[in-house]
């Protein structure tokens, strides 16, 4: 008997670079000559709503960047945001593809991401070929590491929490999954992940 029915992956920090985290925002601040402290304060006030899809991309940009006239457009800024998405060095994409190709598990995503960047990343990097379910924050209206997103995932997936494996690069997110009854693995690189999956009997 297989040890799990479902394997859920975080995306940023496991498969791809983060979509819009500290490093990506710092690059945008430098490129567009923004006041970093002011921008980060506005981002902090808007990001939760944006990643839960209660405000649109335009509303997020209006609140964080275009609170005053700028010599560039919202499309210019968003294009730069998207350009920051790349395959993560030492990523788990190969393991994801291998697990999906085995047809032994329901493979999905459980990630924090705004809809505009999430949809772009899923399509551009071909993730939908492997992910049969997407429990992204923008789709379920909840964010990690809060316990409600894991409970919502369990409600949607059905079955026993112990039959679900969750992989994330952040300890607090793994801890939230474990609190909900899932098995959690912290991603620190493809090699250690493969070793841990072997130990668990997954591969």
CATH of residue 156's domain is 3.40.50.1000
Q: Are residues 33 and 97 in the same domain?
A: no
Q: What pLDDT score was predicted for residue 65?
A: 98
pTM score above 0.75: yes
Weakly modelled stretches of the chain, pLDDT under 50: none
pLDDT for res 11: 98
User: Which tokens belong to 143?
Assistant: 């964010």
Q: Please say which residue of 83, 107, 123 terminates a domain.
A: 83
Q: Looking at residue 7, what is its pLDDT?
A: 98
- Whether residue 118 is contained in a domain is answered as yes
The set of residues, in sequence order, having a beta carbon less than 8 Å from that of 34 and lying 6+ positions away, is: 28, 65
In the sheet that holds 183-186, the strands lie side by side as: 133-134, 106-109, 6-9, 164-168, 183-186
Domain count, the chain: 2
Residues 135 and 185 occupy one common structural domain = yes
In a domain, 28, yes or no: yes
Q: What is the Cα–Cα distance from 150 to 102, expressed in whole angstroms?
A: 25
Give the pLDDT confidence score for residue 31 in this predicted structure.
Answer: 98
d(CA 52, CA 198): 34
Residue-level pLDDT at 178: 98
Cα 166 from chain centroid (whole Å): 12
- Would you call 131 helix, strand, or coil by DSSP? coil
């Amino acid at each position: 008997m297989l040890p799990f029915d479902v394997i859920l992956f975080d995306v940023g920090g496991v498969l791809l670079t983060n979509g819009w985290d500290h490093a990506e925002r710092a690059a945008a601040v430098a490129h567009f000559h923004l006041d970093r402290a002011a921008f980060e304060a506005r981002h902090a006030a808007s990001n939760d709503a944006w990643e839960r899809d209660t405000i649109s991309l335009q509303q997020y940009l209006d609140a964080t960047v275009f609170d005053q006239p700028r010599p560039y457009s919202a499309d210019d800024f968003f294009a730069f945001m998207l350009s920051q998405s790349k395959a993560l060095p030492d990523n788990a994409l190969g393991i994801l593809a291998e697990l999906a190709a085995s047809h032994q598990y329901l493979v999905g995503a459980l990630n924090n991401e705004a809809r505009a960047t999430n949809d772009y990343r899923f399509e551009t990097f071909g993730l939908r070929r492997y992910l049969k379910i997407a429990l992204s924050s923008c789709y379920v209206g909840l964010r990690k590491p809060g316990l409600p997103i894991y409970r919502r995932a369990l409600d949607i997936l059905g079955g026993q929490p112990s039959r679900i494996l969750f992989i994330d690069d952040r300890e607090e997110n793994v801890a939230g999954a474990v609190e909900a009854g899932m098995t959690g693995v912290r991603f620190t690189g493809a090699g250690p992940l493969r070793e841990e999956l072997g130990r668990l009997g997954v591969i």
